[in-house]
Amino acid sequence: MKVNGTPYRTIWLGGDKATVEIIDQRKLPHKFVIARLETLKQACTAIREMWVRGAPLIGATAAYGMALAMRLDPSDNGLSEAYDRLYETRPTAVNLRWALDDMRALLTPLKADQRRQAAYARAQQIADEDVEICSNIGEFGKHLIEAAWVKKGRPGAADGGVNILTHCNAGWLATVDWGTALAPIYKAHDAGIPVHVWVDETRPRNQGASLSAWELMQHGVPNTVIVDNAGGHLMQHGRVDLCIVGTDRTAASGDVCNKIGTYLKALAAHDNGIPFYVGLPSPTIDWTVEDGVRDIPIEERDATEVTVMSGQTRDGNVTDVRIVPDGAKAANFAFDVTPRRFITGLITERGVSKASRAGLSALFPEKA
């Protein structure tokens, strides 16, 4: 995707072919900053403190983190330490474990002097594979948007086009490129289908308002930021044609874990008969989990993400402000689980399936 007309991925190998460069998403939308990762410690910090975020990008960053570790210490102890330290950074996104398991399986049988080159090569492959997966999700999802447009009588942009509601950020900033939930929107827009996106602000970190709105604007896709609680109202009044969200971990049964508040949007969509889709890259499927509500660990993050907000002042400075009384307590649950019965379909890189074990197994028999 492009930033001010220049194509970027969210993570890439630096010019020295040793360090890794990322877009520091904490600075968006007010500043576009590229950060350099040189060590395992820095890769862990980038994931834990959300310089990067989104399940697919976390996985890619973890893979590059393993490569950075092998650059400095390719021993068995170095490999074990790198795996453990990266694994501890974020508990919910299953791509983290998937990427680390993949890298460890590749590197363990190799001699120490072979691990550095192999790690960098595989990390690059994981990044490239993510781009292809997300592009394919976009193609399959585009057909769903086109069908909704045809059903409405092919209205032009002046007549509203197709109105899509999304939650959090599941665009290219959450992946290596293209995105999951937003990939179908980009593909539809590029194909000339008039789309308009309702962007949930997505408290507490405002990843919709700060990230989704920013990247949609960079691509020229019409969008409107709304407060999180406005979605149900819009659905009641016929102003949403379909919902598309992302996922950080999906149970084998079809239950989906995504940014906190996704469950409430699914309930509103179900009540109003609005299709509710999930952009689902297969590495986010946890085939070991059947009951998502019971078995997916929900990350609880620092309360300051709820009590403090960052924004740009009238004079252009970016600052943090406290929005609750001194001494107020806050809980910060990062994710919730949407049961499969409220999901219309899962948009994967191999097609659209029902939110069920049978549906996912039919598309990924080698995993099931």
Active-site residues, by number, are 248
Of 44, 10, 305, nearest to 130 (Cα)?
Answer: 10
Phi, psi of 187 (to 5 degrees): -65, -40
What DSSP assignment string belongs to 248-306? SEEETTS-EEEETTHHHHHHHHHHTT--EEEE--GGGEETT-S-HHHHSPPPB--THHH
Task: Give all strands of the β-sheet with 249-251 in edge-to-edge order.
Answer: 285-286, 249-251, 256-259, 335-338
Q: How far is CA 231 from the centre of its chain?
A: 20
DSSP 365: T
Distances (CA, A) of 258 to 266, 314, 328: 11, 34, 27
Burial class (CB in 10 A: 0-12, 13-18, 19+), 366: exposed
